[in-house]
């Protein structure tokens, strides 16, 4: 949410602006037409006028009148999410309480309590970003409480974020990086979890456009170049299926749609393949116009016809008809071998299922009316409520826990009695134990998965049947936190550890009391605080605990001074001069660009991040780390999205200055055919032709293939790109990739 007074690339007259705003408002009313009841038009008009008046002096970064943003958000809510009149009013007002003179009381007076509550929830979300990290996580909790109270808050917020992403071009680069990271880190998974697949993929694609501009452009271009060839293939694939379905009398639609740029990129990364090697660039979708009673049966009939025509891959069959995802998604997915030896994914669903897949939660509500089905959404909200109500004050981990626990893909596992439990992907037997009951979790010593004994750290897979084995002698330990992914399990383990620590600390309390009294000091709060601060501990509980486990033996007591029965800190023998201020780092002014490896670079202390090993020419950002000063990361670093989303206020815009005197260590991984002299060819090219220094080289050959890891010194990214290109041209080399691992 950005406001400025200047109008850069914007040149409409006041009159043209008014016409544009009215045109947008009328389009919104047209989209809403089927949902408008008597009296609604007046309310919508009031909300529009109230928002237009409140925002009349404000402009967006692009220079356009600010009111166009709430209007666009409202249209996304109506046209792409399927929300109604109330949500439209909330969308029009979503920024007013935060940015203008309008108060929550004004909104409540004009539109009632329900709308005021949603607008209040939206205002809280706007304040989430750009505060210190723990404050941010605290606010995120508030949002989620509002979400479980009224999910429309999140749906409108997602529409707001989608419009901001669509108009991100006019923002400054560091703002683009921060907003895009936050989008991919929190908002895209949230859209996915709410069942809004098309919004989720658009958010991911838009974020990638800013975080990975080169890869994005390259894939978009290749998709456009291969479009005609793909269409021809899709028609060839569909033709025999169409004939079969028509013959069987189905009312259907069948078409191919391209996969999103982000999902293609993900495949290329995960499987280390090139664009040309990604087999599923598109999916075939079959939509059936079936009645609710017959839709499941029809989907299976269609599945049978497709697999009669093309051979399916048994491993890639997904049945979300029998067991829908908790965000309501139902469909049948299969991957079959099509013409020319190409694998093709086919998705089969009814029109009702398709609407739920496109519109998520909003459509889910529409179909739920009049049924007594306890929706999986409601169960999900219930789990979030439980997680939020725990007494865990450490909210820094909260965002991360929330992501792994509630935004991940799911698996379903069975209890010994056959009840289904939904858990996030990556859950272990210990997570399952805690999902049944906390008391079973803390006493868990192992499990039987499909009747076979496994340890508590065993990762579960969809369809597993799990029986927990427990013992009253079992106690949780710190290591358990590494075995679980669900928020409930983490919180309960932390509680149990705290309780255990408190018991141990009680023993330490008596030792401290005895030693103080022997020394002639009183056992009181003042003296305990002095000792806690002397040993640089966070609390008196920590002091008692450290004494109890014999990490501290209070030998230093004799150096203290006594004033009556009060302890006084011992005076240091020499004054200690600390020349290293904790985080004082001379940073440039807010909008200045930080130049590293240039003339001004020696004024600033920085380190290159180990997780991604940046080299000059990489797209980078600076991150202020407590106690370590400035760390430089690549924008596509594995940790970048988390850092920029969670600690955006610490991100500093950074660029490289040309400097050919310094070399940087980086790594490349080469895979190819094992051939006599292959190592010679590679080293000749690197050392002989390109004159680059090799730091280390390891080559392993296995069954006719070799994999080589080479660490080399380069001056910048241009040099590295040139090397990769030349290596790829060598005969027998299959892939060449830069690797970001910390072991470079």
Distance in angstroms (rounded) separating the CA atoms of residues 678 and 675: 6
CA atoms within 13 A on the CB side of 706: 20
Q: Which of 119, 124, 120 has its CA nearest to residue 92? A: 119
Q: Sign of dihedral through CA atoms 134, 138, 139, 143?
A: positive
Helices of type H across 319-446: 351-359, 361-368, 376-388, 398-406, 429-436, 438-442
Q: Is 218 exposed, middle or buried (0-12, 13-18, 19+ CB in 10 A)?
A: middle
Residues 6+ apart with CB under 8 A from 291: none
Task: Say which DSSP state 661 is in.
Answer: T
Residue among 189, 259, 164, 273 at smallest CA distance from 220: 259
CB–CB of 278/267 below 8 Å?
yes
Residue the block writes with tokens 């806690």? 532
- The closest of 198, 180, 340 to 259, measured between CA atoms, is 198
Active site residue 99: yes
Catalytic residue among 17, 99, 319, 565: 99
Q: Kindly state the tokens that stand for 294.
A: 């017959």
Identify any residues that bridge with 562 across adjacent strands, giving them in sequence order: 567
Per DSSP, the residues of 187-251 read: IHHHHHHTT-HHHHHHHHHHHHHHHSHHHHHHHHHHHHHTHHHHHHHHHHHHHHHHHHHHHTT--
Helix axis angle for 68-75 and 152-166, nearest 10°, is: 120
Of how many residues is the chain composed? 744
Query: Can you tell me the distance from the alpha carbon of 560 to that of 516, in angstroms, rounded to the nearest whole number?
Result: 11
Catalytic residue, chosen from 98, 355, 410, 675, is 98
What secondary structure, in 3-state letters, does 35-101 show?
Answer: HCCCCHHHHHHHHHHHHHHHCCCCECCCCCECCHHHHHHHHHHHHHHCCCHHHHHHHHHCCHHHHCC
Phi, psi angle pair for 715, to nearest 5°: -85, -35
Q: Which residues are paired to 447 by β-bridges? A: 454, 468
Phi first, then psi, for residue 607 (nearest 5°) are -130, 155
Structure tokens at 168: 């991100």
Q: How far apart are CA 152 and CA 159, in angstroms?
A: 10
CA atoms of 147 and 406, how far apart (whole Å): 13
C-alpha span between 140 and 395 (Å, rounded): 9
Q: How far apart are CA 28 and CA 32, in angstroms?
A: 6
Q: Tell me the C-alpha to C-alpha distance, in Å, between residue 526 and each of 145, 521, 530, 548, 593.
A: 40, 11, 6, 20, 49
- 98 classed as catalytic: yes
Rg (CA), the chain: 30
Residues paired with 708 in a beta bridge: 670, 699
C-alpha triplet 556, 558, 559: angle, nearest 5°: 70
DSSP state of 465: B
Give the active site residues.
98-99
């Amino acid at each position: 949410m950005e406001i400025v007074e200047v109008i850069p690339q914007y040149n409409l007259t006041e009159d043209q602006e008014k016409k544009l705003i009215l045109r947008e408002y009328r389009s919104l009313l047209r989209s809403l037409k089927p949902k408008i009841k008597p009296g609604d038009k007046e309310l919508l008009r009031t909300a529009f006028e109230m928002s237009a008046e409140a925002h009349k002096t404000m402009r967006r970064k692009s220079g356009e009148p600010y009111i166009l943003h709430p209007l666009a958000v409202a249209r996304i809510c109506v046209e792409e999410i399927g929300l109604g009149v109330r949500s439209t009013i909330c969308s029009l007002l979503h920024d007013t309480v935060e940015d203008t003179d309008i108060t929550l009381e004004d909104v409540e007076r004009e539109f009632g309590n329900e709308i005021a509550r949603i607008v209040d929830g939206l205002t809280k979300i706007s304040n989430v970003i750009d505060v210190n990290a723990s404050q941010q996580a605290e606010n995120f909790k508030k949002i989620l409480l509002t979400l479980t109270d009224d999910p429309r808050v999140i749906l409108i917020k997602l529409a707001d974020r989608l419009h901001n992403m669509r108009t991100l071009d006019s923002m400054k680069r560091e703002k683009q990086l921060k907003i895009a990271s936050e989008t991919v880190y929190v908002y895209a998974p949230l859209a996915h979890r709410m069942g809004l697949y098309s919004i989720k993929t658009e958010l991911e694609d838009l974020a990638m456009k800013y975080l990975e501009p080169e890869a994005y452009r390259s894939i978009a271009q290749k998709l456009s170049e291969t479009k005609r060839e793909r269409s021809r293939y899709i028609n060839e694939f569909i033709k025999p299926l169409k004939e079969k379905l028509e013959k069987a009398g189905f009312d259907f639609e069948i078409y191919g749609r391209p996969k999103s740029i982000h999902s293609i990129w993900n495949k290329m990364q995960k499987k280390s393949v090139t664009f040309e090697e990604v087999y599923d660039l598109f999916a075939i979708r079959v939509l059936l116009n079936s009645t609710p009673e017959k839709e499941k049966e029809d989907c299976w009939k269609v599945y049978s016809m497709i697999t009669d025509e093309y051979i399916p891959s048994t491993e890639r069959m997904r049945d979300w008809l029998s067991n829908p995802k908790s965000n309501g998604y139902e469909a049948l997915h299969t991957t079959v071998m099509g013409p020319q030896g190409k694998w093709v994914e086919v998705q089969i669903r009814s029109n009702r299922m398709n609407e739920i897949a496109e519109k998520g939660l909003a459509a889910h509500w529409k179909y739920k009316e009049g049924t007594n089905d306890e929706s999986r959404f409601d169960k999900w909200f219930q789990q979030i409520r439980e997680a939020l109500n725990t007494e865990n004050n450490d909210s820094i981990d909260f965002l991360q826990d929330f992501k792994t626990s509630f935004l991940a893909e799911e698996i379903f596992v069975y209890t010994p009695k056959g009840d289904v439990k939904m858990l996030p992907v990556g859950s272990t037997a210990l997570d399952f134990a805690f999902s049944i009951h906390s008391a079973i979790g803390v006493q868990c010593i192992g499990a039987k998965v499909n009747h076979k004994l496994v340890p508590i750290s065993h990762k579960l897979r969809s369809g597993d049947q799990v029986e927990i084995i427990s013992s009253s002698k079992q106690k949780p330990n710190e290591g358990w936190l590494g075995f679980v992914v669900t928020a409930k399990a983490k919180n309960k383990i932390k509680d149990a550890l705290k309780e255990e620590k408190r018991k141990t600390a009680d023993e330490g309390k008596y030792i401290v009391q005895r030693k103080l009294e022997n020394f002639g000091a009183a056992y009181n709060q003042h003296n305990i605080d002095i000792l806690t601060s002397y040993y640089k501990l966070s609390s008196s509980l920590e002091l008692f605990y450290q004494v109890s486990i014999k990490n501290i033996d209070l030998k230093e007591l004799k150096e203290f001074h006594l004033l009556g029965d009060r302890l006084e800190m011992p005076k240091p023998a020499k004054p200690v001069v600390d020349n290293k201020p904790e985080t004082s780092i001379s940073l440039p002014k807010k909008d200045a660009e930080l130049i590293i490896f240039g003339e001004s670079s020696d004024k600033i202390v920085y380190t290159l991040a180990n997780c991604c090993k940046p080299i000059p020419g990489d797209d980078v950002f600076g991150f202020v780390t407590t106690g370590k000063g400035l760390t430089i990361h690549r924008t596509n670093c594995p940790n970048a999205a988390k850092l920029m989303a969670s600690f955006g206020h610490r991100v500093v815009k950074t660029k490289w200055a040309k400097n050919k005197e310094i070399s940087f260590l980086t790594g490349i991984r080469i895979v190819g055919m094992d051939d006599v002299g292959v190592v010679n060819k590679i080293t000749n090219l690197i050392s002989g032709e390109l004159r680059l220094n090799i730091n280390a080289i390891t080559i392993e050959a296995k069954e006719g293939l070799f994999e080589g890891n080479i660490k080399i010194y380069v001056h910048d990214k241009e040099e590295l790109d040139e090397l990769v290109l030349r290596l790829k041209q060598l005969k027998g080399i299959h892939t060449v990739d830069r690797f970001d691992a910390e072991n470079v």
